[in-house]
Amino acid sequence: MPPINLNPGPAILPKSVLTKLSSSVINYNGSGLSLLEISHRSDAFIEIIDHVRLLTKKLLNLNDDYQVLCLQGGASLQFSQIPMNFLGTNDTACYCNNGIWGEKAIKAASLYGNVHLASSSKDKDHTYIPKELDIHDSAKYLHITTNNTVEGTQWHTTPPIRIPIIADMSSDILSMQRDFNQFALIYAGAQKNIGVAGATLVILNTKVLKQVPPSERLFPDLLHYTKQIEANSLLNTPPTFAIYACLLTLQWIEQQGGITAIESINEKKATMVYDALDNCNTFDCRVHKADRSKMNIVFYLKQESLMPSFLTFCKNNHIVGIKGHSTKGGCRISLYNALPIEDVEKLCNILHDFHKQQQ
């Protein structure tokens, strides 16, 4: 039996993407050369990166104000790059603290300007998303994490506020519809829902970017959004293979019928798993129902001592990657786009079987 891959990231990719990726390593597009041995300035690669930008804009329905960048350093470097570009030393930015990734973004931003906490869910161990936000009118932007990968909570709507919104969408980009044109900047490490580790997608509203006053701050050109836009993300050698993996995944999403079609499958997958967990009192889902993530489902065993036997049971049933994040304990089921619904059915049966075994 092939494994059921629930890894949180790097994560499952569509089989067809893996097949095409592997053949590109030997012979890219009949050229007789590997994709790994051609220049990032070659026509073949420029075509790939241009196509990634176009297809991202198409799938997310972005208007012409938006530019798509393929950068490096993961979502984590964006934690610093965003305030470097958008926040003057005396400026203030609002941040929501809904989990460990948001907390890291806050810590990074505090080195560059003032951080005002718009909300925090720390009081309840990040098991919910506070919707009441305390926003400073003069703040340069609000930063949110749309899906809290580690805690299993998700913003299902976008907060209705007037200042620009910047969002870390690393773990739920391309999984559901949002009005992406409401965001000043969207970023995501590719290794969860877009492709493989090494590439980071940054989607910028250039109108908002142009309003940022010139900064006195000195920082490398590589981290300058405007300079990267002017250079088509090619200021230095980009992660060519990872960018090609993004293109293949974006094309796969398009073939599935785009985000609308993907979202409806994702809804079904998440409902199946939450139902299975809710219906078996062996498991304990602590996240408030209204804020449950459809991508990363975090749960515990009511009887903590059962954890080792549950993990062994999962292993014997070829489930990979179900152990929770080291800071949270418990378990986590990641339901990224590429995980087939058939695997989710099997997974739910396995959860039921374990529950029955305990009766």
CB of 144 to ligand PLP, least distance (A): 10
Paired residues of 96 in beta bridges: 119
Torsion angles phi and psi, residue 24, rounded to 5: -70, -20
CB of 73 to ligand PLP, least distance (A): 7
CB of 35 to ligand PLP, least distance (A): 22
Catalytic residue among 91, 140, 155, 192: 192
Which residues, in sequence order, are CB contacts of 169 under 8 Å at separation 6+? 146, 147, 186, 187, 188
Instruction: Write down the residue that tokens 């050109």 correspond to.
Output: 221
Burial class (CB in 10 A: 0-12, 13-18, 19+), 112: buried
Report yes or no: 323 and 301 within 8 Å, Cβ to Cβ: no
In the complex with ligand PLP, the residue whose CB is nearer, 9 or 113, is 9
Q: How many CA atoms lie within 13 A of 214 on its CB side?
A: 1
Catalytic residue among 91, 140, 155, 168: 168
In the complex with ligand PLP, the residue whose CB is nearer, 197 or 306, is 197
Asked if 221 is an active-site residue, the reply is no
The Cβ of residue 297 has, within 10 Å, a number of other Cβ atoms equal to: 23
Largest CA distance in the chain: 66
CB of 5 to ligand PLP, least distance (A): 16
In the complex with ligand PLP, the residue whose CB is nearer, 190 or 208, is 190
CB of 14 to ligand PLP, least distance (A): 20
Asked if 168 is an active-site residue, the reply is yes
CB of 294 to ligand PLP, least distance (A): 14
In the complex with ligand PLP, the residue whose CB is nearer, 108 or 285, is 108
Catalytic residue among 101, 155, 252, 294: 101
Q: Go through the chain and tell me how many residues it has.
A: 359
Report yes or no: 200 and 185 within 8 Å, Cβ to Cβ: no
Report yes or no: 280 and 355 within 8 Å, Cβ to Cβ: yes
Residues that bind ligand PLP (CB under 6 A): 9, 74-76, 101, 145, 149, 168, 170-171, 189
Give the integer Cα–Cα distance in Å for 347 and 3: 11
Report yes or no: 262 and 337 within 8 Å, Cβ to Cβ: yes
Which residues, in sequence order, are CB contacts of 312 under 8 Å at separation 6+? none
Asked if 252 is an active-site residue, the reply is no
Which run of H or E residues covers position 70? strand 66-71
Report yes or no: 245 and 17 within 8 Å, Cβ to Cβ: yes
Catalytic residues: 101, 168, 192
